[in-house]
Structure 1
Amino acid sequence: MRKLYISLGLILFVLVACSPSLPTATTPENQAFPKEQAAGELQVYYLDVGQGDSTLIRTPKGQHVLIDGGDNHKGDDVVDYLKQLGVESLDAVIATHPDADHIGGLDTVIDAIPVKSVYAPRVSHTTNTYKDFLMAVKNRNLKIKSAKAGIELPLDGVTAKFITPIGEYGKDLNAWSAVLKVTYKDTSFLFMGDAEHKSETDMLKSPEELGADVLKVGHHGSETSSSPQLLKAVDPKYAVISVGKDNKYGHPKGIVTNRLKKADVEVYRTDKRGTITAMSDGKNIIFKTAR
């Protein structure tokens, strides 16, 4: 009987050892994206967090800004991304608005990584997700700074200015989205959060502030955002859409992708390319993708 057990064990070992390797799942740990930073380079990481939003900005001076943190179950993934990139502290965290797919993971991030300042629009919510975010900020002995039009982040060599919110939007959380424009020398990036037509209309009152090379498409490519008027004012060369595979909302909508195509904008999507990295030397922008 003992010989039989040994024989079966040897057979099993040989079968396992000789079997072809199974494909490795795509996780933050094994996604390939640029981790090194060239001198004088601005890097923007549009993190793959599925149907949600999270973006890391790494300035040429080594400062870090995180915009949103994905949904509740993506907080650990965002922390893993940041650790891979060697982020030891965040100079600013921006919660664009209280929707869970944007702020859900921020409490995990704030608990795990030291944060110097937190920005959010002056709108509250009653969900446990929002309360968890507030508690994480409180536990760091921080107070939330107002994200509103005209406010600039204190960054070296880079201008980061909020374009919205401009007015009062009641309970319309998407309209409250904090839209940030980042300018590095001759290049610029616009981060739209979930801003929709209502806040786009207010932005278009000052169209000269909207021009950008890279547009982070609003509301995951929903038809309620990215109006023809906004796209004309921004006039981007590139667009990034943060969206999950086969999501229940049907994002991005065909009407939006068609507008971008008609405007001859090169589009990158996280559901197709994984984490997307834009790198600017102040004059030119190049992209690298995880897949």
Structure 2
Amino acid sequence: MLIDAGNNEDSSSVKNYISNQGITKLDYVIGTHPHEDHIGGMDYIINSFKIGKIYMPKATANTKTFRDVVSAIKGKGLKVMAPVVGQTFKVGNATATILAPNSSGYEDLNNFSIVIRLTFGSNSFMFDGDVVDVSENEMLSKGLNISADVLKVGHHGSSSSTTQAFLNKVNPKYAVISCGKNNSYGHPHKSTMNKLKSKGIKVYRTDENGTIVATSDGNNITFNTKSGSYNYAGIGSSASSNSSASSGSSKTRNVPVVVPKSSNNSKIVYYTPSGKSYHFDKNCSTLSRSKTILTGTLREVLSSSHNDHCNVCAEGN
């Protein structure tokens, strides 16, 4: 099973890694949601391997990346399966259960993310895609079993994800954060790292540890690298436009949550009253469901609760 395939530029790296494991067929391919950093390499992967079933949420994006994936799927005569919460399927001797999405009318495309809980023996793993607090709260309210030994932290460690209630319910021993070194989003954010630290959860992060491999024998889980730090690069939704993270021995550069060129801070962007993202394009497909669209400068939104920029209309910016 492959969950997501990185950015477009990661295509060959993902393909080579899979090939080096001696894998020629992927029984299951999961595209958690239509953002480029999750499905960018998926068309290349689909064209490079034998594919069993493909799961993607009922969400679209008006981007070349999304169209390329759809074309690759059609080109192989495959059909996309929509996720159904509670559905299970076997991955070898492990069992995968779909836990989200639980709704169909999200404003934030991240909430459409497919969430998979994988169990093997007495071990369990949660793969959260980019879910933010809305989807997390739905899983909690439905009383779904989200406990896990390993949590793949939602949305790259953003402050918009990993609520305290959700983390308490998962109660993992280990957390894995996928984020780029010196990334311009400031991931992972302070609030998320502080929550993980306060619970003594060992953190493995790609910006510090590189490729992370967790191996389970059904009873014990081992990692190929030492755990990383609790350092953070940005402070997320509580950030101001000129704030910076604390200094320390982190291998990640200390940066604000978003680092646009200062000359662009007066640029007009768009957002919704309840949305956490801002948009460069007023006609962005993810805004089409919103009745109320507000405008402001980039400087203003970076000091507000709407400071996660949209991945869809950010592709061209």
Short-chain TM bin: 0.7 to 0.9
Kindly state the Cα deviation for residue 155 of structure 1 after the two structures are TM-superposed.
Answer: 3.1
Matched, 1:143 2:79: yes
Q: Which residue in 1 is equivalent to 2:215?
A: 279
Is contact 1:275–1:290 with CA below 8 Å preserved after alignment?
no
Equivalent in 211, 217, 230 of residue 147 of structure 2? 211
Q: Which residue in 2 is equivalent to 1:62?
A: none
Partner of 2:89, secondary structure, is coil
Deviation digits for residues 201-255 of structure 1, max 9, x if unmatched?
1011144501000000000000000000000000000000000000000000011
Structure 2: unaligned runs, 5 residues or longer = 228-317
Q: Which residue in 2 is equivalent to 1:179?
A: 115
- 136 and 112 in structure 1: CA distance in 2 versus 1, 3 angstrom threshold: same
Alignment of structure 1 residues 1-291 onto 2, 5 Å: 65-289=1-225
Q: 2:111, 2:5 → 1: CA distance?
A: 19
Corresponding residue pairs, total: 227
Is contact 2:99–2:144 with CA below 8 Å preserved after alignment?
no
* Farther off after superposition, 107-116 or 169-178: 169-178
TM-score normalised by the chain length of structure 2: 0.70
Q: 1:208, 1:92 → 2: CA distance?
A: 23
Q: 1:136, 1:267 → 2: CA distance?
A: 35
Partner of 1:115, secondary structure, is strand
Q: 2:92, 2:11 → 1: CA distance?
A: 28
Question: Could you tell me which amino acid in structure 2 is paired with residue 106 of structure 1?
Answer: M
Q: 1:153, 1:134 → 2: CA distance?
A: 23
Is contact 1:94–1:120 with CA below 8 Å preserved after alignment?
yes
Q: 2:114, 2:218 → 1: CA distance?
A: 24
Q: Which has the higher contact order (CA 8 A, sep 6+)?
A: 1
Is contact 2:58–2:104 with CA below 8 Å preserved after alignment?
no
Q: Which residue in 2 is equivalent to 1:17?
A: none
Structure 1: unaligned runs, 5 residues or longer = 1-64
Kindly state the Cα deviation for residue 200 of structure 1 after the two structures are TM-superposed.
Answer: 0.6
Deviation digits for residues 106-160 of structure 1, max 9, x if unmatched?
0011111111110011111111100001111111110000123112224342110
Kindly state the Cα deviation for residue 171 of structure 1 after the two structures are TM-superposed.
Answer: 4.1
Q: 1:235, 1:148 → 2: CA distance?
A: 24
Percent pairwise identity:
43
Is contact 1:239–1:265 with CA below 8 Å preserved after alignment?
yes
Question: Could you tell me which amino acid in structure 2 is paired with residue 95 of structure 1?
Answer: G
Q: 1:267, 1:288 → 2: CA distance?
A: 13
Question: Could you tell me which amino acid in structure 1 is paired with residue 79 of structure 2?
Answer: K
Question: Could you tell me which amino acid in structure 2 is paired with residue 255 of structure 1?
Answer: S
Larger radius of gyration: 1
Deviation digits for residues 42-73 of structure 1, max 9, x if unmatched?
xxxxxxxxxxxxxxxxxxxxxxx000000111
Q: 1:276, 1:80 → 2: CA distance?
A: 16
Q: Which residue in 1 is equivalent to 2:277?
A: none
Q: Which residue in 2 is equivalent to 1:15?
A: none
Q: 2:199, 2:116 → 1: CA distance?
A: 22
Is contact 1:163–1:203 with CA below 8 Å preserved after alignment?
yes
Question: Could you tell me which amino acid in structure 2 is paired with residue 181 of structure 1?
Answer: R
Deviation digits for residues 9-33 of structure 1, max 9, x if unmatched?
xxxxxxxxxxxxxxxxxxxxxxxxx
Q: 1:153, 1:71 → 2: CA distance?
A: 27
Is contact 1:208–1:233 with CA below 8 Å preserved after alignment?
no
Is contact 1:169–1:175 with CA below 8 Å preserved after alignment?
no
TM-score normalised by the chain length of structure 1: 0.76
Kindly state the Cα deviation for residue 169 of structure 1 after the two structures are TM-superposed.
Answer: 2.7
Q: Which residue in 2 is equivalent to 1:21?
A: none
Kindly state the Cα deviation for residue 185 of structure 1 after the two structures are TM-superposed.
Answer: 1.1
